[in-house]
Amino acid sequence: MINIIKCSLFILFAALLVTAPEHANAAIQIPEKLLGNRLSITVNVVTNFQASQRRITYDYTFNNSITSMQPLEGIALKFDHDIISSSEPLGWGGGKYKNKPFWSWGVVAENALLRPGSKINYLILQSEGLPGIQPYYAQGEIPIPNIDELPEDVSEQEFGVAIDIFHNSTTGTTVAPTSTSIHAAPLEIIDYLIEQTRSARQAGWIQSNGIVNSLIQKLQAARDSYKRRQFQVMQNQLLAFQNHVRAQSKKHISGNAVTILMTGSDVAIQKL
C-alpha cells in the first residue's frame, strides 16, 4: 500500500488514484476526526493578458479566514483550457489532477500549511483560455498521515473517501481558464462576455439586474457594429463597457467579475 505523506496533498492526489476507486463511495460517512471541510476560504485572482506571448497569466491568492477551524492543506480548481505553465511558492507543489480537468495545489512541507487568518499568493497558471467562473474544492489538514497508521475506529474505505477532495472539502467559485480561447473570433468573444456577465449575476458577483442589462446592451451593440464592419465604433462601445465595469468595481461588481469582464474585453479590443 502506498505510504501517503502527511501535508502533501499533491502527492496524496496521485496516491488516491492508485489506491482508491475512480469514484469513491460518497455514501460512506467520513469520521469527524477526518473532516477536511471546516474551512472559510476565499480565492482571488489577478489576470494579465500578454498579447505578445499569446497567453493569460492567472495569479491566485488563497485566504484562510480567521474563522476557519483548520489549516488549508490543498485546493483543486477546474479549468477548461490547456495549462501552458505553472508555478507556486516554496513549500507547495502543483499539477493536473490525473485524467480530470482540475489543477491541484498542495503543501509539501508541514510549515507551509495555510493556517487560519493567513493567506498565500504567487500560485500562478498560464493559459490561452479566457477567464470565467469555475468551481474550486479546498481541503483542510487531515491529521492521519497514511493508511498504515489508521486507528481501529477508521476503516480503509472511510480513509479513501476522506482524502478525496471532491467528497471532503469546502467548495466555492473562483476565476480560471474557460474553453473560449484568446484566439477566438471577436464575435465569439462578445458572446462569451455576454454569457459570463449573466453567470456573474447568478453567482452574486454582480448585484443588480440593471447593471447586467446595461452591460449586455453595450456588448450587443458592439456585436452589431462588428457585423456592419464598423470596427472603430465597436472599439468605442467596448471601451464604454469597460468604463461601466470600472465605475461599478467593488461597489456592485466583485473583483473576480471585474477580472473576467476586463480581460475578455481587452482581448476583443486587441483584435480590432
- In the predicted structure, residue 30 carries a pLDDT above the cut 90: no
Distance CA 80, CA 125 (A): 13
Q: For the residues 245-268, what does the mean pLDDT come to?
A: 95
For domain 9-179, give the CATH superfamily. Mu homology domain, subdomain B (2.60.40.1170)
- In the predicted structure, residue 76 carries a pLDDT above the cut 60: yes
pLDDT in tens, 192-212: 999 999 999 999 999 999 999
- In the predicted structure, residue 142 carries a pLDDT above the cut 90: no
* pLDDT of 145: 63
* pLDDT of 22: 46
Residues 6+ apart with CB under 8 A from 17: 98, 99
If you search the block for the grid coordinates 464575435, which residue do you land on? 187
* pLDDT of 190: 97
If you search the block for the grid coordinates 498579447, which residue do you land on? 51
Report CA 239 to chain centroid distance, whole Å: 27
Distance CA 141, CA 71 (A): 6
* pLDDT of 25: 53
| Closest by Cα among 272, 235, 242 to 257 | 242
Average pLDDT along the chain: 88
SS3 12: helix
